[in-house]
Amino acid sequence: MNASVHATPLPTFDDVQAAAQRLQGVAHRTPVMRSSTLDKLTGAEFFFKCENYQRMGAFKFRGGYNALARFSPAQAQRGALAFSSGNHAQAIALSARILGMPAAIVMPEDAPAAKLDATRGYGAEVITYDRFTEDREAISQRIAQERGMTLIPPYNHADVIAGQGTSAMELLQDVPQLDYLFVCLGGGGLLSGCLLAAKAMAPGCKVYGVEPEAGNDAQQSLRKGEIVKIATPKTIADGAQTQALGDITYAIIRRDVTDIVTASDPQLADCMRFYAERMKMVVEPTGALSLAGARFGGVDLQGARVGVLISGGNVDLGRYAQLLDAV
């Protein structure tokens, strides 16, 4: 697919600003944290935007809520549908509850019980399927048609992208003069939204996407000049196990990003441990991508002001302990 001929117009910074208005008083304005230890160690000034403290524990609430808040009355009555076993599911479930509309989430029947329970806990109906014999996209399409529900994808959607961009918008309001911004990257909803905000608010700021070394499809896509699809990557960064960018996220990233760097699983675990030990923060593996990219991605940050977007903090504590123990 050629992104330059993408049919609908790409979202803009105006859409990010409109999303910020909708999220006002609903999403948390998350804190920006510092670490003098890291600043001394690196000779740079780091500013952490902590979306691990966002509602439901990740930035995905921003995009989910923004998308659902734009439903027509007829759409709202039928409700929202999502397929996801991760943070997007909880974002849609919580947003639907706040907006008083039905939500159904399609999840594999062998998803961790804690995730099924959390999604049900937000009031959504969970529809399970057998991921070895059934195709989740086909199931979701069928349910969307049968029930008239509106399917909200996790990243390749203009309203989702605009909502995610409000995180970087807030960071740049709080810290206007950033030289660099590092953003965790899966399907590219967060990165493309952050790019819309950064290009408008801090045009000189260099923005890097950081994806798992084992799943560098976006880096390959950027180099090749077209969307590259890979097999589901094996990495501890479960929120970034995407196979390909979407046509909308690819078009924005290709146009605006400085570059894409990668991080290995041991580097992610190392950064998770740093967050726990030095900053007393629980950050999930995918949320540690941005710092890992800043520290180990080969970009010279001496004397620079560096923004790091921490995307989320949802991790099973048993697994968390194991990952930290292995470093």
| Binding positions for ligand PLP, 190-209, rule CB under 6 A | 190-191
Q: 279 Cβ partners below 8 Å, 6+ apart? A: 33, 35, 48
Q: Are 94 and 55 in contact (CB under 8 A)?
A: yes
- Nearer to ligand PLP (CB atom), residue 15 or residue 45: 15
Q: Does 163 bind ligand PLP (CB under 6 A)?
A: no
CA distance 260 to 245: 13
Give the interface segment with ligand PLP, choosing from 25-33, 71-79, 101-109, 280-288 (CB under 6 A). Answer: 280-288
Q: Does 162 bind ligand PLP (CB under 6 A)?
A: no
Q: Are 211 and 268 in contact (CB under 8 A)?
A: no
- Nearer to ligand PLP (CB atom), residue 307 or residue 312: 312
**115 part of the active site:** no
Q: Which of 35, 84, 85, 311 is catalytic?
A: 85
Question: In the sheet that 125-129 helps form, which strands lie side by side, from edge to edge?
Answer: 125-129, 103-108, 80-83, 150-151
- Nearer to ligand PLP (CB atom), residue 46 or residue 155: 155
Q: Does 286 bind ligand PLP (CB under 6 A)?
A: yes
Instruction: Give the position of tokens 């605006």.
Output: 256
**49 part of the active site:** no
Structure tokens at 327: 């470093």
Q: Which of 35, 60, 140, 311 is catalytic?
A: 60
Question: Which of 155, 180, 208, 275: binder of ligand PLP (CB under 6 A)?
Answer: 155
Q: Are 105 and 89 in contact (CB under 8 A)?
A: yes
- 55 CA to centre of own chain: 14
- Nearer to ligand PLP (CB atom), residue 35 or residue 235: 235
CA distance 41 to 76: 51
Q: Does 239 bind ligand PLP (CB under 6 A)?
A: yes
* Contact string 58-97 vs ligand PLP (x = CB under 6 A): x-x-------------------------xx----------
Q: Does 187 bind ligand PLP (CB under 6 A)?
A: yes
CB-based burial of residue 184 (10 Å sphere; 0-12 exposed, 13-18 middle, 19+ buried)? buried
Number of residues binding to ligand PLP, judged by CB under 6 A? 22
Q: 129 Cβ partners below 8 Å, 6+ apart? A: 106, 107, 108, 109, 136, 139
Q: Does 105 bind ligand PLP (CB under 6 A)?
A: no
Q: Which residues bind ligand PLP (CB under 6 A)?
A: 58, 60, 86-87, 154-155, 184-191, 239-240, 242, 284, 286-287, 311-312
Catalytic residues: 60, 85
